Amino acid sequence: MSRVLAAVAWPYANGPRHIGHVSGFGVPSDVFSRYMRMAGHDVLMVSGTDEHGTPIQVQADAEGVTPRELVDRYNRVIVEDLHGLGLSYDLFTRTTTGNHYQVVQELFSGLYDNGYIIAKTTLGAISPSTGRTLPDRYIEGTCPICGYDSARGDQCDNCGNQLDPDQLINPRSKINGETPEFVETEHFFLDLPAFAEQLNAWLDTREGWRPNVLKFSKNLIDDLQPRAITRDLEWGVPIPLEAWRERDDKRIYVWFDAVIGYLSASIEWARRTGDPEAWRQWWQDPQAEGFYFMGKDNIVFHSVIWPSILLGYSGPKPQALGALNLPTEVVSSEYLTMEGRKFSSSRRVVIYVRDFLERYDADALRYFIAVAGPESNDTDFTWSEFRRRNNDELVAGWGNLVNRSISMAAKNFGEIPAAGELTAEDTALLASVRAGYDGVGQLLAKHRQKAAITEAMRVVGEVNKYFSDQAPWKLKEDKARMGTVLHVALQAVRDCNTLLTPFLPHAAQRIHELLGGTGVHAPMPEIREVEDLDTGRTYPVLMGDYTVGAKWEHVEIVAGTKLEAPTPVFKKLDESIVEEELARLQG
């Protein structure tokens, strides 16, 4: 057994999340975490809502509420949505906790003490009409490096280079289109160039990373620049230095505080479980592994900036929390588009998780993301393809096998029948299904989830073929053989259900019960209302007991276990849903 940290990107709390978001950070991390727990590893899966920064302030002003009121609202919405998807967080928290503030300030102070934070006078962007600071991401212009005409003030999404807003050609505000004014302001910067040699050496040791992630990361090292770590704003973590701590016009930049959330959430989890030092087992044990899940627009923060923060805090002078582990792997997904267009809330090209779950099963979405999601290439979500996958694969393939095998056994025996003498066909099927544990498991461990679920469904196809070939409905005159065939089929269904549990946990629990199983097969997260450990504020978190549930191993079914006639596990989708959803999309 090893300890595995699943560090999941933090969704921004300025609105509900759509299915494109959860296809990058949510479902892949949960599939991996569920598999690793089933395989016997000690998993710590953490994240939370990212709640600071000027975009929150801008939106709060537009809605006539305080930033706190805005993030409180969307924190709860996001928690409920992720709960509905069955994402098994050990702790899903938020960045506005007293614990998070303390950890962020500790890392800032440690980096400063080690000489990796430097003060510089720079040019800050101001809105001429409001006099307020414009966040870098709210400034667009032409990239001075590659000429891309929609580069942001912090980074060009086309060439991946870090930028400052004043470097943009023809900069403009994304809020109102006006040209920003640039004024001198003092800020603190993380000295990224100081880590270039260490980062290069570390990246050279990374094996098994997705090629696009590793190549992109190494390309960034050649042109690292100091990056601003503070900003002129009112909403964020205070700067923990004398003469700065009490200032209400300077805060730590949101990108810096958000990546530290992986550590602060681990520490909060440890504090909530009664062992405040337990987090160290995932962050300081050399044998522990850390896997970071996000969309490709966040690669730079996890493969370059966060490792730099960890390296800088860990040395040369020892700091209060001690040396911290670097990531084992940055697991980045590409983009999910929708009906050929980019997701855009402002253009109403969007499917919010909440709306989806009101109309369709969570496992139907989880299945689509796993089998057809943006694992290594941009992928398009279409309602017609979603319906086809659901009906032809989940319903007609897996669901139909479950239903007809259990219903036939229930009707003819009322229980799991005993197996008589096995034929060559029987033993071949059972061996093939059992081989799926190694095949599917190895793919899941390497983050090849699309190949893993494809392999699991191939095994389901083998069982379907066996069932059709053996035709137990024709064996009414040979009850013993009928019982053997059904026993073999039900055993295969039991094993296939285990193989599919990381992907389809809701259905897996149901199928476990249809097979006469009791207790928890696929543990689910719980929404718990908790008090802030330091401030007393209340807020919802996701936590759960994941020490229970199925293991990644073959378990013999027990003849004589009572069976009831099942109802369908998955819902078939009518053809009209495609027209209805496209009509919704068009407004």
Q: What is the pLDDT of residues 431-474, one digit of tens each?
A: 999 999 999 999 999 999 999 999 999 999 999 999 999 999 99
The beta strand positions in 464-534, using DSSP E, are: 526-531
Q: Identify the CA nearest to 543 among candidates 14, 79, 128, 56.
A: 79
Residue 167 CB burial class (10 angstroms; 0-12, 13-18, ≥19): middle
Q: To which H or E segment does residue 452 belong?
A: helix 449-470
Confidence band, pLDDT 50/70/90 cuts, at residue 275: very high
Q: What are phi and psi of 175, to 5 degrees?
A: -80, -50
Position 188 pLDDT exceeds 80: yes
Residue 185: CB partners within 8 Å, gap ≥ 6? 121, 122, 123, 124, 232
303 or 122: whose pLDDT is higher? 303
| Distance from C-alpha of 410 to C-alpha of 468, rounded to nearest angstrom | 18
Confidence band, pLDDT 50/70/90 cuts, at residue 1: low
Position 176 pLDDT exceeds 90: no
Confidence band, pLDDT 50/70/90 cuts, at residue 157: confident
Q: What are phi and psi of 545, to 5 degrees?
A: -100, 105
Q: To which H or E segment does residue 439 belong?
A: helix 424-445
Q: What is the mean pLDDT of residues 198-212?
A: 93
Average pLDDT, the chain: 95
Position 52 pLDDT exceeds 80: yes
The DSSP-derived string for 34-100 is HHHHHTT-EEEEEEEEB--SHHHHHHHHHHTS-HHHHHHHHHHHHHHHHHHTT---SEEEETTSHHH
Confidence band, pLDDT 50/70/90 cuts, at residue 344: confident
What are the tokens at 472? 């137990």
- Confidence at residue 587, expressed as pLDDT on a 0 to 100 scale: 65
pLDDT digits (tens, 9 = 90+) for 130-148: 877 787 778 999 999 999 9
| Distance from C-alpha of 302 to C-alpha of 76, rounded to nearest angstrom | 26
Any idea which residue has 């040209």 for tokens?
Answer: 179
pTM metric for this prediction: 0.93
Verify cis geometry, omega within 30 degrees of 0, for the bond prior to 316: yes
Q: What is the mean pLDDT of residues 509-530?
A: 98
| Distance from C-alpha of 362 to C-alpha of 359, rounded to nearest angstrom | 9
pLDDT digits (tens, 9 = 90+) for 61-79: 889 999 999 999 999 999 9
pLDDT digits (tens, 9 = 90+) for 320-333: 999 999 999 999 99
Whether the Cβ atoms of residue 552 and residue 498 lie closer than 8 Å to each other: yes
